[in-house]
Chain A
Amino acid sequence: MLALLALVCSLAVAAETPPQSDAPQSAIVSGRVLDADTGRPIPGALVTAYGSAAASVTARILTNQGGFFVVRGLHRGSLALTAVKSGFVDAAYGQQRPAGGLQMIAIDEGQRLVDLDIRIWKQGALTGALLDETGDPVIGARVRAFRQIFVAARRRYTPAGEAITDDRGVYRIPHLTPGDYIVAAPSTQTSIPAEIMDTFFARTGTDAARADLALEMRSIDAPIVPAGSEYALAVGGIAMTLPPGTATPTSRPSGGLLVYPTVFYPAAAVAAQAGVVSLRSGEERGSIDMQLQPSRSVTLSGMLGAPAGMASHVAVRLLPVGGEALGEDVATATTITDSTGTFTFLGVPSGNYVLSVLRVPRLQQAPDDGSKITVQAGGVRVSTAAPPPGPVPPPPIPADATLWALVPVTVGAEDLTNIVVPLSPGPRMAGHVEFDGAETPPPPSVVATLRISLDPADGSAPPQGIDYDAGHPDETGQFTTYGVPPGRYLANVTGPSIPGWFFKGARYEGRDIADTPVEMTKSDITGVVLTFTDNPSRLSGTVRTNGSADPAGLVMAFPVDEDTWSSSGSRPRRMRVARADKNGLYSFANLPAGDYYVVAVRDDTPGDWWDPARLRSLSRAARQVHLTDGEQKRQDVETEARR
């Protein structure tokens, strides 16, 4: 749903036709929401209009008994329609499959359109029971499903849904689209120095120090709970939290803890060994049962080596080897260093791990501006602070280094103590922003709203804390990013779009590091030029099938150079899809210059288009297109039978 909405919202922002001001006759559209499998109308579906045509439409519409909806008050522009209904996958007008490409509808003033039917597909669901080693149900535990996707030509898993087991140990994860899933009962042992918990409960230290700590705790999802309570065990000055959602560990008579490690269906310890559950459209798959097994565990402790003061109160994660496809989502254990930089993980089962530290410089906390209020009504007291209205200028990038460490650790049957983990500063990127064109460059205040992202080329998740704002230019266009862990990165621009200007590329040592990864090692990279153009290149045309326009077509464009597929990061700008409109027209706006395969397919069966094997197969039937800077190229394509 989020992905669909994000797409729709970006369309809404990108559309440029404003509603006309001289009170023209508004347009009306109507249609039905239909079950894609049976054709039956669906009453009670929630229809929402997006896009520039719907700028003044403020309502969501519930379909009537006949499945009908009517949207009034539309104006000239483009329109997207979405439909949401319990038991069905979130849908949009024009989709040929669940979660497929949606189609924009061009609206004219006063236009009346009926028969805009939205097809909606039944959801898939995964259900099962979670039991412990004696067959007792595990109650109140979190079970998560991850869907297989391809990012930068690699198989990865993205969170697709989750549920909490009930008093019978039963869980049910609904609203799943067709695809391949893995299912886990994740378990993370979180150990927090009791002195840190005391900071909150005995209110030692300052508000600012507490706010900093709370942020660091949140980065590892650590609850703030008193040690020695029903929410946290206290073991030797360390509070091991007993959060809802995880099975309760216990202590062994001979000392040490018995913990319930993460289990992947059917009985695997890491994602790489998990069984894949393939879910068809509308399929409900039961008996995805898992059994937790207690595991002896040890304590792992040591110290971070860093300049004075920089090692205290830093989050440390212990990630299982074999879980890379899940990113840092499912850690085996997490902790925070105490004020001396010492860390202690309790409850670590034997296995191979990577100890991961990333200390992003801390920003000055926003001062108390009197906006926080406490509302007390009907026996409930709630503290709230409304976020400030409108965009907030980003805080300046701190001068402190980003410190990082990645250390492999093998845990056996004995405690590991005195591990010394030196932290190293991560390299930064610096440069400036250029506006290359005839248009008037945007004012400095607008330049300062841009955000620069550093995206790992292999498609892994960007460093937490600086994922969408690795840096931003000042009003003169100069920028220096946060430090990042060494690796291969792509430089990109995110944040609000500037009307009339389009990001063209990131120049560094004669190449474009928006597409070709730059190796960031120990030293900083300087002299990067982020270029904007007012004359973006564009590839557009008509999708045809048997000589006539094909409104059901989906056009894909991807680089001819296959080697670049695996280093395109998580937001590739050269691997794009565009849905044909009702006249078969497609368009790729601001496609960077280069050599592309362009191919039209029918988007009617589930699957992942970015599987490299499928791309390779599609490329054999694709047209090759050479696009130059600023070129407005037209290229008609024939729909391929799906392969």
Chain B
Amino acid sequence: MIRAAALLAIAVVAAHPVEAQTRDAAAPATGTASIAGRVLSDTQPPRPLRRAVVTINAPDRTGSTAITDDAGRFAFANLPAGRYTLSASKRGWVAMSYGARASGRPGRSIPLADGQRATATLQLPRGAVITGVITDQNGSVPQGVSVRVMRYAYAFNSSEKRLLPANGSGVDERGVYRIHSLPPGEYYVAAFGPRDFFSQSRDLHLTSDVDVQEAQRAVQAGPTTPVTDVVQRGVGVTPVFYPGTPNMAQATAITVRAGEERAGVDFTIQYVAVSHVSGTVQGPDGQPPVNARVTLVTNTPSIPDTGIEGIRNAFLDNRGQFDFSAIAPGQYVLMARMAPPGPTGPNAPPPQVLSSIVDVDVQGDDVTGLTLVLQEGLTVTGTVRTDGTAPPPRLNALRVNLAAVQTGNAVNISTGGTTVRDDGSFTLTGVTPGRYRLTLFAPTPWLVRSATIGGQDSLDLPVEIRESIDDAVITLTDRKSELSGRIENGAGGADYSIVLFPENRAFWVGPARRILTARTAADGTYLFGNVPPGDYQLAAVDDVEPGEWYDPAFLQRLAPSAMKITIAEGEKKVQDIKIGGGG
């Protein structure tokens, strides 16, 4: 379903390498430019939208917010010169950026010179509505069911399209759900059963006629006669897609236009047999561990994940036993973790963390007798260094994280990160084997130049961690690189999406820091405000779906017509692009 991007032949016009500047001057707080405008409905005739929230943003500057008056008007005054993006939202309507081709697409920025007064009109489509009734197989309204609409989109950390939740609603006591404010588009509707974060939720049993008959027979027979044991199987609700299938591939898409109300999207949920997943956790000494937590994570490719609901926690009893109930058929990852008590404090040694992970396949029968033996996790030790002239950041306010890099549909589990010590050293404990990027949020004006493990920059190439590491190095720099330019197509008002991506194809692992996109501004210029130095390819396309740029197939198609460009640290490079003959 990857949308073919219109490729455009581009030719080098001129490259003016600019001498590396030391640092950005602090952006002035106020200026003399202004933008005023209106927010209107995207209807015929348009009407003003009152109480819409309009936000304005520019790189390296705090945004501002304005709310439209009764005539739909807004104004931002005292703006310093810069490149501004505008967007507007209002409940019941679909949020749009100024100049965007559709909701969720990037807008066009508005370059403002000192003293310039710009105007802008934003038009919002009315949100669409999908509504219907959910019942169970008996025609009765099920307890605790929720409904979500989903659409295919690129996930933030993946280079492929997935079914992602767009909006949701509860189901009221009449079975009615109503999901509104939807952008026009193609949606899938699914009902989810109640799933609890903690597994104290009890099994759900359907009462069978045999069950009732046996109970009544037992009463007549008196207390001394044995009771025929009627097996009561637990049931649960697995996700069901409109028009009533548990299989995502058989779901029917619903396409809604702006402002359309699609009623009658009714379907039935089914109770399915669910299982217990139970077992024992042992410490390294074979004894029941104290203070261990057990987590079960959904890992079923056919079921769209909905975040926190895919995760369940259980407690251990004093014999180290756990029991998850009401587990629907599917694949799961089961994990036990434990942090034995130890010294605490700002510079105390990091907690030692023991863990164990197993895959669990549930096919309707109970899964019992699982044994998880806790083992010491891996450790990643390293240092944070700074290379620059700005006042160094407070090291002990920085936090280092290991971000798991998704491979296929695997569940990735990473630790919660650690705080850097006063001397710049850090230790992450309890790391489970996997592919990771080492990340850190650097305070302005500092940037992370590299985060290496064994000399390999994990920010570009995720590092496979299979054993403990002691040579991680995170280097911060205060020298920011920039790429900007103008697109000329001979017709004026060039409107393209510019894609900057690394020459090294090994770095095409989404979400890569070296894959960047920008929409041309209203005057045909573009700007990448923070480009890690290196060798790149630059391409202009007519349109690109958000996230599509992480798709290697997409970049592959761009590569032949792209322009090669090298950016040095601290460089402010200007690269104009001429779109050639009829593209």
Contact = CB atoms under 8 A, between A and B. Distances in A.
Contact of B51 (A58, A86, A204, A250): A250
B212 A207 contact: no
Given A66-B212, A203-B397, A386-B293, A139 B92 contact: yes
Given A113-B219, A175-B173, A248 B53 contact: yes
Interface in A510-542: none
A373 B295 CA distance: 10
B297 A377 contact: yes
Given A59-B202, A228-B63, A368 B416 contact: yes
A234 B65 contact: yes
Interface string B239-282: 00000000000000000000000000000000000000000000
Contact of A63 (B87, B207, B223): B207
Nearest to B335: A373
A186 B418 CA distance: 40
A183 interface: no
A358 B399 CA distance: 32
A166 B180 contact: yes
Given A25-B223, A230-B53, A381-B157, A367 B63 contact: no
Nearest to B276: A58
B178 interface: yes
A287 interface: no
Given A87-B173, A229-B55, A369-B339, A70 B65 contact: no
A226 B63 contact: yes
A502 to B, nearest CB: 27
Contact of B55 (A125, A174, A230, A247): A230
B582 interface: no
Contact of A59 (B157, B203, B345, B444): B203
B91 A202 contact: no
A374 B215 CA distance: 48
B64 A228 contact: yes
B142 A44 contact: yes
Interface string B286-301: 0000011111011100
A206 B162 contact: no
Nearest to B428: A370
A227 B62 contact: yes
Contacts of B172: 86, 172, 174
Contacts of B315: 389-390
Interface residues of B, number: 116
B290 to A, nearest CB: 9
Interface string B200-228: 00111111110110111011001110110
B98 to A, nearest CB: 14
A2 interface: no
Interface stretch (B360-368, B405-413, B459-467, B522-530): B405-413
A60 interface: yes
Q: Which of A61, A376, A385 has the most CB of B within 10 A?
A: A376
A382 B419 CA distance: 20
A374 B67 contact: no
A253 interface: yes
Contact of A370 (B204, B396, B401, B416): B416
Nearest to A239: B65
Interface residues of A, number: 88
A66 B91 CA distance: 45
Interface string B534-554: 000000000000000000000
A207 B207 contact: no
A593 interface: no
A202 B444 contact: yes
A375 B309 CA distance: 12
Given A28-B218, A206-B397, A370 B173 contact: no
B392 interface: no
Interface stretch (B116-124, B133-141, B556-564, B570-578): B133-141
A227 B205 CA distance: 50
Given A253-B69, A373-B414, A44 B444 contact: no
Nearest to B66: A251
B69 A389 contact: no
B515 interface: no
A278 interface: no
Interface in A291-309: none
Contact of B223 (A84, A110, A375): A110
A503 to B, nearest CB: 28
B441 A203 contact: yes
Interface in B428-472: 429-430, 441, 443-444
B482 to A, nearest CB: 21
A374 B414 contact: yes
Given A233-B67, A379-B164, A370 B353 contact: yes
A72 B208 CA distance: 13
B407 to A, nearest CB: 11
A253 B75 CA distance: 11
A375 B297 contact: yes
A219 to B, nearest CB: 23
Given A86-B143, A250-B67, A374 B413 contact: yes
Nearest to B178: A166
A232 interface: yes
B325 interface: yes
B181 interface: yes
B136 A44 contact: yes
B227 A372 contact: no
A46 interface: yes
B569 interface: no
Contact of B204 (A60, A68, A253, A377): A60
Nearest to A42: B140
A384 interface: yes
Nearest to A29: B215
B305 interface: yes
A390 B291 CA distance: 8
A612 interface: no
B568 interface: no
A63 B212 CA distance: 10
A314 to B, nearest CB: 23
A25 B218 CA distance: 12
A139 B91 contact: yes
B68 interface: yes
A137 interface: yes
Given A30-B212, A376-B404, A385-B416, A371 B293 contact: yes
Nearest to A85: B143
A84 B62 CA distance: 50
A48 B200 CA distance: 13
B310 interface: yes
Given A30-B215, A248-B51, A375 B411 contact: yes
Contacts of B316: 389
Contact of A250 (B69, B95, B396): B69
A175 B144 CA distance: 13
A377 B305 contact: yes
A374 B297 CA distance: 11
A207 B396 CA distance: 10
A148 to B, nearest CB: 23
A68 B212 contact: yes
A62 B92 contact: no
Contact of B205 (A60, A174, A370): A60
4 nearest CB pairs, A to B: A379-B155, A378-B305, A372-B416, A167-B180
Interface of A: 25-26, 28-30, 43-44, 46, 48, 58-66, 68-70, 72, 84-87, 110-114, 123, 125, 132, 134, 136-137, 139-140, 166-167, 172, 174-175, 202-207, 226-230, 232-234, 242, 247-251, 253, 367-386, 388-390
25 contacts: A46-B204, A59-B234, A61-B206, A64-B208, A69-B207, A86-B175, A112-B223, A140-B181, A203-B443, A205-B397, A207-B399, A227-B63, A229-B55, A234-B64, A248-B53, A367-B344, A370-B337, A371-B416, A373-B413, A374-B403, A377-B409, A382-B310, A382-B311, A384-B311, A390-B315
Given A30-B216, A232-B65, A374-B403, 6 more contacts: A87-B173, A140-B92, A202-B444, A233-B65, A377-B297, A379-B155
